[in-house]
Amino acid sequence: MTRKEIKPLDGPLIAQVKVPGSKSITQRALICAALAEGESILEDALRSEDPDLLAHALAATGAKVEFSENALRIGGVVGSPRLSGKEIFMGNNGTGARFFLAYSSLGKGTPIVLTGTKRLCERPFKPLIEALQAWGASLSCLKKEGFLPIKITGGGLLGGEVSLSVSESSQFLSALLLVGPYTREPAVIKLSSPLVSRPYVDLTLAIMKNFGAEVEEKEESFFVKPQKYQARHYQIEADASSASYFLAAAALVGGKVTVANLPKDSLQGDAAFAGILSRMGCEISYGQGVTVSRDPETPLRGIDINMGRYPDLVPTLAVVAAKARGKTIIRGVPHLRFKETDRLKAVATELRKCGVPVEELEDGLIIEGTDNIKGAEIETYDDHRIAMAFAILGLVAHGMVILNPGCVAKSFPNFWEVLEGLYQ
């Protein structure tokens, strides 16, 4: 399927949906389980392109990985991955590639090469590479310094104090934290720049704690003592980023949508989206999951918001802002330019196709809401979040066509089936 036409919905929406497990939690739990001793079961783990690529990479370095419909069984390597000389292809999975780079640096054996798509090989890795090298990792960039493909010789990590820039991605810090329990000396990570996407680091710390590893944080430093992850049965909650698209549908169309399997006390920062929609004129409630509702007679209103803590929600917020009265100012997300695509440029370009006035800022967007949204052929840039966000905008615009709709497989393989359920 190379294109998907979206049909508008006629007035108010009443729906209940379930979304897959969290991609962010699944990938972090995979690393913890792979480093642990014994077998872990990851219940409701997300089965999609990104975590599957990471799981296969872990299997290629000694972890025992068993796939089933609702769970992953992971037999750990007890902190010692076995490098097999294989090339590890990580697609466009930036999170998985950064985590795996740190993980495999603990290993021994025949050097491996970590690579990915053309876009992944253009995304920044330099701060993480330099930090791992400061810990004694034997890494060499094969084409361009600071970028994939990277040859990993392994040999373990010394630990000690290291300085890390996190202005481009919090994933660099999460990668170091995840392997911190297995460095030979206590790991001390000092941040040399302001931290972006803080909720993702909090998520990393929470999952590490669940697997038995404690991290101490003081000011701009993180301290990790040598310790071991404990294998466990771990329940993975619904993906808050995936839930955002259907909560946005309620905001745009009017009516009520409940995401039944997203808990009120979610670990994920992106669970804040319901609260953001409440600022725009929606009502939220919690019971069996999270419910967003809007009386069709109540207009959406524009807001001014720093989205630095929730960058993955920006495309979803942007399509809601397209219908809000007044301007919505989205700030604090310059790092969105280093995602699967330059998301700020992509969102601005595609919204303009739909007749929505947009000003692109260095670190965000200014969107002028309109009642005259028109459908268009949406270029997705092989970016799952662009595809899903503009599909939701198509619920209120005639003639919306999503190109390369299959790119949603990266995080939400059954997105189109769940979307179809809104029409019933």
Annotated binding-site residues for 3-phosphoshikimate read 23-24, 28, 169-171, 197, 312, 339
In single-letter form, the type of residue at position 145 comes to: E
Residue ranges of the binding site for phosphoenolpyruvate = 23, 94, 123, 171, 343, 385, 410
Instruction: Sort 120 into a burial class: Cβ within 10 Å, 0-12 / 13-18 / 19+.
Output: buried
Residue 136, H or E segment: none
Instruction: Find out whether the peptide bond into 127 is cis, omega within 30 degrees of 0.
Output: no
Q: Which residues pair with 289 in a beta bridge?
A: 287
Residue ranges of the binding site = 23-24, 28, 94, 123, 169-171, 197, 312, 339, 343, 385, 410
165 DSSP 8-state letter? -
- Report in angstroms the alpha-carbon separations of 420 from 17, 323, 410, 416, 423: 11, 22, 19, 6, 6
Would you call 265 a catalytic residue per the annotation?
Answer: no
What dihedral do alpha carbons 189, 331, 92, 319 form, nearest 10°? 150
Q: Token pair for residue 224?
A: 């990790």
Residue with the two structure tokens 């972006």: 196
HSE, side-chain direction, 13 A CA sphere, residue 131: 29
Residue with the two structure tokens 């949406």: 378
Residue 413: how many CB atoms within 10 A of its CB? 17
Residue with the two structure tokens 């361009």: 144
List Cβ neighbours of 297 (8 Å cut-off, separation of 6 or more): none
- Beta-strand runs (E) in 91-186: 108-110, 112-115, 139-141, 150-152, 160-164
Alpha helices in 180-225 (DSSP H): 198-210
Q: Token pair for residue 318?
A: 């942007």
Instruction: Sort 198 into a burial class: Cβ within 10 Å, 0-12 / 13-18 / 19+.
Output: middle
Distance CA 325, CA 340 (A): 30
In single-letter form, the type of residue at position 217 comes to: E
Residue with the two structure tokens 């990985």: 65
Find the catalytic residue in 52, 239, 312, 383.
312
Q: Which residues are catalytic?
A: 312
